[in-house]
Amino acid sequence: MTAAGVAAAPVTAIGGEAGEGEVVAALQALGYSLSEARVASRAAIAEAGVGSSLEDRVKAALRSQVRE
């Protein structure tokens, strides 16, 4: 895991919205690879929605990984 890989992901945190970079970083902290975390983060956006909280998006990302 490199800090540069996480920093390269787009991060948007406006009004409580969790950006993809935050979700990716949270998943990497849980042991997922960068590529796994990015795929799960995109699935979470589709499931939880763009305006959802970081907690909701991380939960949705984890659920997407369980289904695979």
**For the segment 8-65, what is each residue's pLDDT rounded down to a tens digit?**
444 444 444 457 899 999 999 999 999 999 999 999 988 888 788 999 999 999 999 8
Q: What gap in Å lies between CA 44 and CA 1, rounded to an integer?
A: 21
Confirm whether 6 is domain-assigned. no
Q: How many domains does the chain divide into?
A: 1
Query: The domain that contains 61 carries what CATH number?
Result: 1.10.8
Range of the domain at 62: 16-67
Q: What is the pLDDT of residue 35?
A: 95
Say if CB 54 and CB 18 are below 8 A apart. Answer: yes
Confirm whether 28 is domain-assigned. yes
Residues 6+ apart with CB under 8 A from 21: 6, 7, 9, 10, 11, 12
Confirm whether 26 is domain-assigned. yes
Does the global pTM surpass 0.75? no
